[in-house]
């Protein structure tokens, strides 16, 4: 069983960082988000070897990284837009990035970007 503890802002400035620490063994970690009235989408994922995957909407603005020693994943968010407003969920799995959504989920943290 993997437990995830997220930390991050509510109302954000143009650039912020989310972090999430996992209590158990993981291979891939990442972030999903869900905006009101929209489906959950994968924002970014990263493997223990450093391989990454990003949603097209955040490429060039968001950077995912991880500290394997701390079993912690970070999401650096730059050039935030109102359309980035959503609940962001930390997710972790022992599988692949493609199967990340079937892993363990955090409770979610609200990110609100005002125009």
Give the pLDDT confidence of 63-97 residue by residue, as tens digits: 999 999 999 999 999 999 889 999 999 999 998 88
Least Cα distance to 44 among 88, 82, 87 occurs for: 88
30-41: b (≥16 Cβ within 10 Å) or e: bbbbeeeeeeee
Give the pLDDT confidence of 29-62 residue by residue, as tens digits: 999 999 999 999 999 999 999 999 999 999 999 9
């Amino acid at each position: 069983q993997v437990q995830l503890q997220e930390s991050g802002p509510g109302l954000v400035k143009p650039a912020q960082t989310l972090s999430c620490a996992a209590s158990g063994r993981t291979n891939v970690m990442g972030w999903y988000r869900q905006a009101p009235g929209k489906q959950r989408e994968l924002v970014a994922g990263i493997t223990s070897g450093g391989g990454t995957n990003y949603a097209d909407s955040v490429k060039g603005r968001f950077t995912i990284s991880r500290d394997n020693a701390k079993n912690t994943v970070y999401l650096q968010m730059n050039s935030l837009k109102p359309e980035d407003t959503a609940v962001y969920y930390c997710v972790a799995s022992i599988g692949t990035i493609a199967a990340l959504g079937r892993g363990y989920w955090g409770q979610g943290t609200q990110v609100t970007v005002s125009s």
